[in-house]
DNA sequence: CCACCAACTAGACCATCGATCCGGTTTGCG
DNA sequence: CGCAAACCGGATCGATGGTCTAGTTGGTGG
């Protein structure tokens, strides 16, 4: 039965907001990935029509931009100030890897330092802590948190080919520049550039591999071990966290070398 | 007039091949970008119907995978063997930047070393050329060529979030591993990982900026200079080539430091 | 108390896309 | 000659991002 009398007198007004849209988009992305985010599905989850979304948002890209910036919001900047250099012995390959956030979440704001482990892998570590203070600790912490946040939302990797102009992304970048300047880099551009590019590339590569079933890919390469012997022998174990930390150590050491030699 | 008699007796059989498809896809991508590559448009350029493409290719992703691997084919490995360390003084911001290949081309196989310039930016360069030989020269050359090839086809940046399992990409990765092993890295994984991730991230970031009209983005940031002072002051000049080389120098120096200290 | 307007909503609709179905045609080869 | 694999294309399917039209709701100023 559906007539004027049986219906609610006032449809409970929805009060849709940008915040609700973005939060729901994040959940949808975490659960089903970027390929399944459509305006219709998003609207359905918000219990409205797709048209309504376009009242708050100009295009679908807006939604994606907002969602991506929301990921950066998870990177906490506080408590990074007194981060030590993080150079305890490097342990096994513990937690934190990809495929974490899938399934619900909704809980943003979780600290980004969940899986911190030692890094730097014991090379030239005790070097120049003279003039610049220990600038590497906070910078390393920022990069780890950056990476961890992106890995917690693997869909973000596919969105990194767009300008990161959201307030949260900019705030983190500003923090990075500040730290580098304080450490004594008069031209921090190259340092910030290489660090953030390294993180972006690392996340993309890891998500790519993990999405495409590492086992199969490994088999594929092993079968072709004749053609690519070095790659097949040394490139197939994926201790993602340790490898990332080691590479980050290379970068930081090279930067410190340049900073100190002045 | 169109009847049985006026028509060619034998329609000149098309002989569509994967190679032709990929070559045409590359041209289309160079001219119009990844967003405008559709199976229909590609088929039209090949003077056939979209259905026919699916005889040679399973999905559109196949086309993109093939096109991306074809970009790696442009990275020449010969002449990289005796590459010097490339440490002449670093000059201005010459050629090679993005938006190069647009408009025709079709000419694959062009050498990737078009815009080589000095790099490393004069830091700890003369260090450990003892045991490992000058491994940095060829590696640096490979990374530069890698980047240059991707920048010559800016659309490739948006495709880097997929497994690079094509023969050309694998061959270059194998070359990188070989070089690193020969240089004395017993576990070259982290070095190869960080180098290739750095290149990927750099290309993605540069293409992103150049696609979104650098001037506008600069204004956007300058307007917000109050909120992001360090970023606005140090992050807005884009000498892409020099910045890339400097960051690459950091990585190589850090790696050399680890290699030598053993 | 009412007029008005911004905020909000739904459904039909449009062009386009990747992909498939179906019904063919052409070629090489035995 | 006949057959099977290769090749071809129009029609079509389901889905998408986005717009158009035609409303409904709630708050505010008069």
Percent of chain B with pLDDT over 70: 73
Nearest residue by alpha-carbon distance to C1' of D11 = B51
Q: Tell me the two tokens of residue B211.
A: 């696609």
The answer, yes or no, to whether residue A6 has pLDDT greater than 80, is no
DSSP secondary structure code for residue A105 in this structure: -
CB contact under 8 A, B189 and A231: no
pLDDT digits (tens, 9 = 90+) for A219-249: 888 888 789 999 999 988 889 999 999 999 9
Task: Give the pLDDT confidence score for residue B122 in this predicted structure.
Answer: 37
Q: Which residue has the higher pLDDT, A214 or B157?
A: B157
Average pLDDT, rounded, for chain A = 79
Q: Any chain A CB within 8 A of the CB of B119?
A: no
Residue B235: name the closest of A133, A259, A175 by CA.
A175
Task: Give the pLDDT confidence score for residue B15 in this predicted structure.
Answer: 66
Give the Cα separation of A128 and A150 in Å (integer): 31
Task: Give the pLDDT confidence score for residue A82 in this predicted structure.
Answer: 62
Residue B183: name the closest of B132, B142, B254, B129 by CA.
B132
Task: Give the pLDDT confidence score for residue B110 in this predicted structure.
Answer: 34
Q: Any chain A CB within 8 A of the CB of B225?
A: no
Sequence-distant (6+) residues with CB within 8 A of A31 are A102, A103, A104
pLDDT digits (tens, 9 = 90+) for B41-84: 999 999 888 898 998 999 999 999 999 999 999 999 987 666 66
Task: Give the pLDDT confidence score for residue A133 in this predicted structure.
Answer: 74
The answer, yes or no, to whether residue B120 has pLDDT greater than 70, is no
Q: Give the CA-to-C1' distance from B95 to D4 in angstroms.
A: 55
A187-215 average pLDDT score: 92
Average pLDDT, rounded, for chain B = 79
Minimum CA–C1' distance nucleotide for B46: D8
Please say whether the dihedral angle defined by the alpha carbons of residues B5, B6, B7 and B8, taken in this order, is positive or negative. Answer: positive
pLDDT digits (tens, 9 = 90+) for A17-40: 888 899 999 999 999 999 999 999
Residue B120: name the closest of B149, B83, B82, B79 by CA.
B83
- Label each residue of chain B as H, E or C: CCCCCCCCCCCCCCCCCHHHHHHHHHHHHHHHCHHHCCHHHHHHHCCCCHHHHHHHCCCHHHHHHHHHHHHHHCCCCCCCCCCCCCCCCCCCCCCCCCCCCCCCCCCCCCCCCCCCCCCHHHCCCCCCCCCCCCCHHHHHHHHHHHHHHHHHCHHHHHHCCCCCCCHHHHHHHHHHHHHHHHHCCCCCHHHHHHHHHHHHHHHHHHHHHHHCCHHHHHHHHHHCCCCCHHHHHHCCCCCHHHHHHHHHHHHHHHHHHHHHCC
Q: Is A96 helix (H, G, I), strand (E, B) or coil?
A: coil
Q: Any chain A CB within 8 A of the CB of B178?
A: yes
Q: Give the CA-to-C1' distance from A51 to D21 in angstroms.
A: 12
B100-106 average pLDDT score: 35
B21-43 average pLDDT score: 94
Strands (E) located in chain A: none
Instruction: State phi, psi for A83 to the nearest 5 degrees.
Output: -60, 130
B16-32 average pLDDT score: 92
Task: Give the pLDDT confidence score for residue B220 in this predicted structure.
Answer: 86
Q: Give the CA-to-C1' distance from B202 to C11 in angstroms.
A: 46
Residue A171: name the closest of A247, A107, A78 by CA.
A78
Q: Is B19 exposed, middle or buried (0-12, 13-18, 19+ CB in 10 A)?
A: exposed
Answer for the pair B113, B148: CB distance below 8 angstroms, yes or no. yes
Q: Any chain B CB within 8 A of the CB of A174?
A: yes
Answer for the pair A184, A131: CB distance below 8 angstroms, yes or no. yes
CB contact under 8 A, B177 and A205: no
Please identify among residues 144-173 of chain B the ones whose CB lies closer than 8 Å to any CB of chain A: 157-158, 160-163, 165, 170-171, 173
CB contact under 8 A, A247 and B199: no
Residue B181: name the closest of A235, A82, A86, A124 by CA.
A235
The answer, yes or no, to whether residue B211 has pLDDT greater than 90, is no
Tell the residue number behind the tokens 């034998």, with chain if given. B10
Task: Give the pLDDT confidence score for residue B84 in this predicted structure.
Answer: 61
**Nucleic strand C within 7 A of Cβ B15:** no
Give the Cα separation of A169 and B228 in Å (integer): 11
* Of the partner residues B123, B199, B224, the one whose CB lies closest to the CB of residue A257: B123
CB contact under 8 A, B258 and A204: no
Q: Tell me the two tokens of residue B153.
A: 């086809």
Nearest residue by alpha-carbon distance to C1' of D25 = A13
**A to B CB pairs, distance under 8 Å:** 212
pLDDT digits (tens, 9 = 90+) for A186-197: 999 999 999 999
């Amino acid at each position: 039965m559906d007539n004027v009398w049986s219906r609610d007198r006032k449809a409970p007004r929805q009060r849709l907001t940008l915040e609700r849209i973005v939060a729901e988009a994040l959940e949808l992305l975490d659960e089903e990935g970027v390929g399944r985010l459509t305006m219709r599905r998003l609207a359905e989850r918000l219990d409205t029509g797709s048209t309504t979304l376009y009242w708050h948002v100009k295009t679908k890209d807006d939604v994606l931009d907002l969602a991506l910036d929301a990921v950066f919001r998870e990177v906490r900047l506080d408590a990074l100030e007194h981060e030590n250099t993080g150079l305890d012995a490097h342990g096994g390959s513990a937690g934190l890897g990809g495929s974490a956030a899938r399934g619900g979440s909704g809980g943003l704001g979780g600290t980004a330092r969940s899986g911190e482990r030692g890094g730097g892998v014991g090379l030239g570590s005790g070097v120049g802590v003279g003039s610049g203070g220990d600038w590497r600790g906070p910078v390393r912490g920022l990069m780890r948190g950056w990476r961890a946040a992106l890995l917690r939302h693997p869909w973000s990797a596919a969105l990194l080919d767009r300008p990161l102009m959201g307030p949260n992304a900019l705030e983190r970048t500003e923090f990075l520049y500040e730290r580098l300047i304080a450490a004594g880099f008069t031209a921090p551009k190259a340092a910030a550039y290489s660090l953030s590019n390294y993180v972006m590339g690392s996340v993309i590569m890891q998500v790519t591999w993990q999405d495409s079933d590492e086992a199969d890919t490994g088999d594929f390469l092993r079968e072709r071990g004749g053609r690519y012997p070095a790659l097949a022998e040394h490139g197939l174990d994926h201790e993602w966290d340790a490898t990332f930390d080691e590479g980050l150590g290379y970068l930081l050491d090279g930067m410190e070398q340049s900073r100190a030699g002045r």
